[in-house]
Structure 1
């Protein structure tokens, strides 16, 4: 039996990369062995902080490193396609931070490249690996809320306007939709196998024209989804999965530690995950298991699900563009 740990390298040394690195202490099947950044000083400091053996200036040396099995990409959105493609072509498994790309067409290109190279590819949508989210899905599958009638989810935090900051810079894929909106969108799609029959969106825009608040209403016929995301204000950041016989409430659903099952006003079941890390450990453990087993994709975040999300976000952006032009 092969018990060797999957050896990981990280592309980027920003905030998310640090959170990812911190949770390696809570997994038993993976180790972090390398980091690469454009700035060699940042790479070396990152490596020192997390006791990583190798630090690279620039990304190509990491792609080519013989002692690296898998690469986690933690850079701005618009760099994902280029970097993930290079890593796949170098023979590495790839876990790419969300959004995996900035359009459906880019996502199709990346999925095709992974298929050509016969290498593992998954979007690092860490929310879907969290035990509380998996428990909520199990309750729905078991019929504990009856027939699904509505999903509501929102995620928003005030983000000070800075036109050159990653969140607002259009060159880096800025805007609330890609940055935070992908979470409520992904949450809704977990519970609806079919796409919406109709979608209606409204947005507010920052000074440079990037959307800083988006509200969405999706019609599925017998059910609906109400979703929102914002850089303008702190939203409740809660997901509710509502059915004819009960509902599930997930506070801070994007980083969920718990979920509760209600019948009318009474809580009848509750789940806590008891995690020791920040939540990235579930993603690292699961993806490392996949890679060790020779899988080419994740059962929890399949590439076709990532593509579906990208297609719907394209639809939202198209609708918002049309509405904006009419103003």
Structure 2
């Protein structure tokens, strides 16, 4: 296989960003896009110079020319769409959260294994150069032993509307799955362990979905203070704090830079100067895995996705 041909499922905002970034992916092309409405798919295809546009998703699953499918549909549809794609023998890159709970995540991982099919959650943050640099600083012992992680991600989602996707109960609305997955994922990335306990402070929107969350996760030798919100703009930085220094990552979920500090002095700063949003890095990683005939991802593994889902279930159980 010399080139991976992709299909895009969805014509929404994140799918547009993914398609726009694809110009930076080597060894791959986008063969088709599918939407609920043909007109939307055709407009998407024209905008991104994609040769084929389909109404409905079955044509995407059954297209023999497609090797991999990117899924950008609402959270509540991820399981069914990924299941159909995997059973059709396609590799799947599915937007975060991979599923709406741990049970669905476990079932989906089994479906991938049973079909010898590739499945990766699109936690694009893990592939960003600034995040990789921060991991390298930690691995090199620059900050010593991690003692605290602080991270939050929130943007106001106004006006409140129970039928809006972010709040819609039928679409698994709420700030935990929409934005809180990022603080959950960054804590897991640097600690790779389950917390011993989690304390949650929550506030709910009028329809009962959570719209503001803060939680403290206590680990064996570390504490993570995390949060997410639809009510207000949070700082959206991450801090990885050790006993010999700390790392600050502005807008960590889409990080373009990070800085290493000892006490109050910034010792080193990294800026990636990329020309894309950064979604190309995850697409490149999947493409490279498939060209190497791997049937499971090298990064954002099943273990990672199961951990995200497990931790979010534990948080959800407290509100």
TM-score, normalization by structure 2: 0.98
User: Which secondary structure state, in structure 2, belongs to the residue aligned with residue 191 of structure 1?
Assistant: helix
Q: Cα offset for 1:57?
A: 0.4
* Deviation digits for residues 97-128 of structure 1 (CA, Å, limit 9, x no counterpart): 00000010000110000001101100001000
Residue matched to 1:218: 217
2:207 and 2:318 mapped to 1: Cα distance? 19
Query: Is this contact kept in 2: 1:26–1:276, CA < 8 A?
Result: no
Residue 152 of structure 2 is aligned with which of 133, 146, 154?
154
1:99 and 1:230 mapped to 2: Cα distance? 16
Residue matched to 2:233: 234
Q: Cα offset for 1:300?
A: 1.9
* Deviation digits for residues 163-195 of structure 1 (CA, Å, limit 9, x no counterpart): 111100011010000000000110011121221
1:177 and 1:47 mapped to 2: Cα distance? 32
1:100 and 1:153 mapped to 2: Cα distance? 21
Moved over 3 A (4+): none
Number of aligned residues: 318
Residue matched to 1:20: 18
Residue matched to 1:325: none
2:188 and 2:174 mapped to 1: Cα distance? 21
Residue 38 of structure 1 is aligned with which of 36, 39, 51?
36
Matches within 5 A, 1:271-286: 271-286=270-285
Q: Cα offset for 1:67?
A: 1.1
Superposition RMSD in Å = 0.8
Residue matched to 1:257: 256
2:220 and 2:63 mapped to 1: Cα distance? 51
1:45 and 1:26 mapped to 2: Cα distance? 21
2:26 and 2:105 mapped to 1: Cα distance? 31
Q: Cα offset for 1:296?
A: 1.8
Residue matched to 1:54: 52
1:280 and 1:194 mapped to 2: Cα distance? 26
Q: Cα offset for 1:318?
A: 0.8
Q: Cα offset for 1:209?
A: 0.6
Residue 105 of structure 2 is aligned with which of 94, 107, 117?
107
* Deviation digits for residues 240-286 of structure 1 (CA, Å, limit 9, x no counterpart): 00000100000000000111000011111111112111101111111
**After alignment, is 16-25 or 270-279 more displaced?**
270-279
Matches within 5 A, 1:1-327: 4-160=2-158, 161-320=160-319
Query: Is this contact kept in 2: 1:10–1:35, CA < 8 A?
Result: yes
Query: Is this contact kept in 2: 1:84–1:94, CA < 8 A?
Result: yes
1:274 and 1:27 mapped to 2: Cα distance? 17
2:27 and 2:152 mapped to 1: Cα distance? 34
Alignment gaps of 5+ in structure 1: 321-327
Q: Cα offset for 1:26?
A: 1.2
1:268 and 1:253 mapped to 2: Cα distance? 19
TM-score, normalization by structure 1: 0.96
1:189 and 1:207 mapped to 2: Cα distance? 31
Q: Cα offset for 1:28?
A: 1.6
Alignment gaps of 5+ in structure 2: none
**After alignment, is 7-16 or 27-36 more displaced?**
27-36
2:181 and 2:35 mapped to 1: Cα distance? 26
Q: Cα offset for 1:66?
A: 1.2
1:147 and 1:284 mapped to 2: Cα distance? 32
**After alignment, is 298-307 or 82-91 more displaced?**
298-307
Q: Cα offset for 1:5?
A: 2.1
User: Which secondary structure state, in structure 2, belongs to the residue aligned with residue 87 of structure 1?
Assistant: helix
Q: Cα offset for 1:14?
A: 0.2
2:107 and 2:57 mapped to 1: Cα distance? 21
1:221 and 1:290 mapped to 2: Cα distance? 34
